[in-house]
Amino acid sequence: MNIKKLLSPKKIAIIGISEDKGFGKSLYTNMKNFNMDTNCVYFVNPKRDFLFDKKCYHSIKDIDSHIDLAIICSNKFSIVNIIKECHSAGVQAFVVYASGYTETGNDESKKLEDELIRVAKELDVAVLGPNCAGFVNFIDNIQGFGFLTEKRDRKGNIAFLSHSGQFSLSMMDANQIKMSYDISIGNGKITTIEDFLLYLVEDKDTQVISAYIESISSFERFEEFLKRLNVLNKKFVVLKSGISKNSKEILERHTASFEDDKKVKEFIRLSKKYNAYIVDDFEELMNLSNMLSVFKTMPKNDNVCSINMSGGVASLMSDIGDKYNIKFRKFNNKISAYLKEQMPEYASVHNPLDMTITMAYDTEHFIKVLELIMQDDDIGIITIGYTLLLNIDDECIYHLYDALYDIVKNKKYNDKPICLIPIFSGTRNYEFQEKLRDLNIPILSTPMYAFSSLRKIFDNVLK
């Protein structure tokens, strides 16, 4: 089984493509929208000679070039025969979008999936699916996703694996997430989630692996992945579903992937043993993945310095941080003395700190405060309470960015991670989001998710 042929193919055949609304049309639209080289893409449809002004072959065997990956857009009844024919033409990897297999609870549909699994394993081919949404290789700009996606740059170091196609799409919709791969595995009974995990952990462009997992096929191979993850010092963030009885019943009709309580406990045991980050919902998965992806250094201790643009935000940070046992250490004498000297009489020197308008709009004072905090070895991380909006009307972000740039780029203070925490969720100004990312400063979700993620990092890194 060759997963590289699946995720990094040189030439692709789209089997069963048509101009009708569906996976095939959406797939090719994505390819065109993202400027993928479609000269390496071939159409196969026995009923058409041309589609979308492109030649259409009647059979895979009519194509002169060697095809690495066949993406099948046909119904479930034709899949096995198509795979056999493609394999006889040298194809080693497949994407199967078709659904309606074991997840229906129907005996005949289960037989179809059993036959598909048997044939695929007999031929030793890699199969993504069935019942999947496909994949995207952002590093090489290979589009294999069957739902339309917004065109923008998503290239980064997070690989996302999901039993759910909707979660794969949602991960692409999150504009703060930068990915190496996004893979919707569907039922995942042929090329399993462990196969993909073991492949991705060795990928040089991937530093963080995130996953939505409904079931594990082999705990032995899952542990092999976790061991390798630790050796390579990469991070694994996982959202596990199928915990409750009702959830298991739902998953039975989703991908037919669910586990009994004993297997769920084993999954959690192994994940904790090898320092995986187990999250409670999808927002936390995205938030924590983003942090681990952007941070270039981890906190040396769990003392937090919280700098904020107003007293209300500082108070909120204190209250929410307390719920997650976040330690806001008192400022040392040097920092306290400087702040008392520079801040107005009505302000108080506390951590979390209210910078007040006096200092929040003064770049040089902001730089001095940041520099003093960076020099304090007893502080492990700096959080900045600021809500970056989509449209910039207030000049505070310019002073904030200039100060951070000077600290990180000019003065080379890189031994403490820094992050921005907005007080509400929303679409952020893309220009400043990317500028801050270039300084290794992520914009997190709301304070609740920010501090819950920080707590997980402290518990993992500092234990």
Q: Any idea which fold 297-461 has? A: Rossmann fold (3.40.50)
Q: Is 297-461 in the same CATH topology as 1-130?
A: yes
Q: Is the dihedral of CA 251, 112, 27, 290 positive or negative?
A: positive
List the domain boundaries for the chain: 1-130, 152-294, 297-461
Phi, psi (degrees; rounded to nearest 5) at 114: -60, -40
The tokens for 409 are 């780029």
Q: Any idea which fold 152-294 has? A: Rossmann fold (3.40.50)
Amino acid at 244: S
Rg of the Cα atoms in the chain: 25
pTM of the full structure: 0.92
pLDDT (tens, 9 = 90+) of the chain, 463 residues, equals: 899 999 999 999 999 998 888 899 999 999 999 999 999 999 999 998 898 889 999 999 999 999 999 999 999 899 999 999 999 999 999 999 988 877 777 888 889 889 999 999 999 999 999 999 999 999 999 999 999 999 889 999 999 999 999 999 999 998 889 999 999 999 899 999 999 999 999 999 999 999 999 989 999 999 999 999 999 999 999 999 866 656 555 555 555 555 677 888 899 999 999 999 999 999 999 999 999 999 999 999 999 999 998 889 999 999 999 999 999 999 999 999 988 888 777 777 899 999 877 777 889 989 999 999 999 999 999 999 999 888 888 888 999 999 999 999 999 999 999 999 999 988 788 899 999 999 999 999 999 999 999 999 999 998 7
Do 217 and 190 touch, CB atoms closer than 8 A? no
CA atoms within 13 A on the CB side of 32: 10
CA distance 284 to 448: 9
Tell whether domain 1-130 is in CATH 3.40.50.300.
Answer: no
The tokens for 23 are 């996976």
> What's the pLDDT score for residue 410?
92
- The CA-based angle 422-426-427, given to 5 degrees, is 110
CA distance 69 to 137: 13
